[in-house]
Amino acid sequence: MSERYDLIVLGAGSGGLSAAQRAARLGARVALFDPDALGGTCVNRGCVPKKAMWFAAQIADMHRLGAQIGFEAGALRLDWARFRTLRDQYIAGIRHRYATRLDMAGIRVMAEAARLASNDAVITAQGTQATASHIVIATGARPRRLDIPGFELGMVSDQIFMLDAPPQHIAIVGGGYVAVEFACLMRSLGCQVDLLVRENLLTGFDLELVEALAVQMQSHGIRIVRNTQIRAARGQPGTVTLEAAGGVEHGVYDAVLWAVGRVPNSDGLGLESLNVERDEAGHVLVDAFQNTNVAGIYAVGDVTDRKALTPVAVAAGRALAERLIGGDADAKFDDSVIPSVVFSEPPLGSVGLTEQQARARYGDAVNVHTGRYTPLLWMVAGRSEQSVVKLLSVGEERKVVGIHVLGPGSDELLQGFAVAMQKGLTWQELKSTIAIHPTAAEELLLLH
């Protein structure tokens, strides 16, 4: 016997929770299916535990910097087991608060995996059935696993949070933000790190700042090996050797992290039987309003081909609920200005177009403004590494179309500039703003 709802959501990650909660607030009867922990990747295996580790790495870096500026130097050792316990307690609290809010909102939560039986019905392996006028797919993505010998000797990002002790020498395979972030934070926490990159670092970010980051990573002791393709791993856990194309070997390592991309969780949902369109990678294809090609079925978050960022999934889920339940036929999220940050050391922030993207779109109408500076605290400590700020503007009005920042504080300062860009910030408006001195943010206002 099926229960009838106004909205069914498959997946309790950032996008699914956003859609379900907003729909319930608008008066909808909502059912939420997910066999996994509430919060999805972001809360349990992504943003939150990663940022906690990044904070720990920052404390270690500041301890070393403190010694450089005159504080008494002493041993600083992280108790990984205690840190993991505290971090996991915090995450458990987030899940508890989610459960409380969902219950208070009257949302029916079922810890089961559901698949589509039709465009208005779902069914679980346990036989639970439900129907609704609208079904939202928000099942997220998972780490990609390679079909190569010895892959099981390493771990994926989901598993690295289970470490109770730091590896002495870790190989990180990949060049995306997950690989770069873990390379930096593991190095800061005392690990010897080899970053093995197939082609380029951080595809999609501005090349000039990416290369500046690579220089700093290498100065911190991270070994970056480019143009290498790992074909196999051999040995046993704790003593792993990696074999690359051409017979080159790397190692021996006591840990390996595979950070080779992510795969959308779109299998096993019954999409094929309803002819819901997906791309070659498995992403559910949607239009600007999150519609699939099948009426009544929608998708948000990392299961689609939109940017795999929590705020993007949240915005898409919220806007979709406003349209389906709230009656706002024009509701959709604005994806023209999406800020993002790589929590590297130092962090790299970006909003809008890179120089390469801007020149491809606007040609010679692009104005590039770049500045380099050494942060004040680094100068006091006698360090010479430079931060980089870069701004791109176009046309006679010099509208700002891209801002990129590498350096301490980039993760926090970029949010305000993103708001201004979304409102149509121009070069003259930026130059007429009074700076806060001395800060990293003022460097953007001092550009020529």
Residue 76 has a pLDDT of: 87
In a domain? residue 178: yes
pLDDT per residue over 39-75, tens digit each?
A: 999 999 999 999 999 999 999 999 999 999 999 888 8
Same domain, 171 and 233: yes
Where does residue 127 fall: left (phi above 0), alpha (psi -120 to 50 degrees), or beta otherwise?
left
Same domain, 203 and 128: no
DSSP secondary structure string for all residues of 207-262: HHHHHHHHHHHHHTT-EEE-S--EEEEEEETTEEEEEEGGG-EEEEESEEEE---E
Domains held by the chain: number: 3
In a domain? residue 61: no
Q: Taking a C-beta distance cutoff of 8 angstroms, is the pair 221, 345 a contact?
A: no
Q: Taking a C-beta distance cutoff of 8 angstroms, is the pair 47, 53 a contact?
A: no
According to DSSP, the residues that pair with 304 across neighbouring strands are 284
Single residue among 260, 275, 290 that ends a domain in this structure: 260
- Of the residues 63, 283, 437, 448, which is catalytic? 437
Contacts 24+ apart (CB under 8 A), 395-399: 395/362, 395/365, 397/426, 398/367, 398/426, 398/427, 398/428, 399/424, 399/425, 399/426, 399/427
> For 151, which DSSP code?
G
In a domain? residue 388: yes
Residue 1 has a pLDDT of: 63
Number of H helices, E strands in the chain: 14, 22
Enumerate residue ranges in the chain where pLDDT < 50. none
Return the sign of the alpha-carbon dihedral for residues 368, 374, 376, 377.
Answer: positive
Same domain, 283 and 135: yes
Cα angle for residues 115, 117, 118 (degrees, 5° grid): 125
Return the sign of the alpha-carbon dihedral for residues 21, 22, 23, 28.
Answer: positive
Residue 2 has a pLDDT of: 83
In a domain? residue 403: yes
404 is catalytic: no
pLDDT per residue over 183-193, tens digit each?
A: 999 999 999 99
Same domain, 256 and 205: yes
In a domain? residue 398: yes
3-state secondary structure of 132: strand
Same domain, 238 and 373: no
Same domain, 184 and 110: no
Cβ contacts of residue 326 below 8 Å, gap of 6+?
22, 26
**CATH number for the domain including 419?**
3.30.390.30
Same domain, 137 and 19: yes
Tokens of 222: 């991270």
Same domain, 106 and 18: yes
Same domain, 241 and 390: no
Same domain, 113 and 242: no
Single residue among 229, 260, 291 that ends a domain in this structure: 260
Domain that holds residue 87: 3-54+79-143+263-324
Same domain, 29 and 103: yes
Same domain, 119 and 162: no
DSSP secondary structure string for all residues of 392-404: EEETTTTEEEEEE
Single residue among 291, 324, 357 that ends a domain in this structure: 324
In a domain? residue 67: no
In a domain? residue 191: yes
Helix, strand, coil shares, percent, the chain, to 5: 35, 25, 40
In a domain? residue 352: yes
Cβ contacts of residue 64 below 8 Å, gap of 6+?
none
**CATH number for the domain including 49?**
3.50.50.60
End-to-end CA distance of the chain: 68
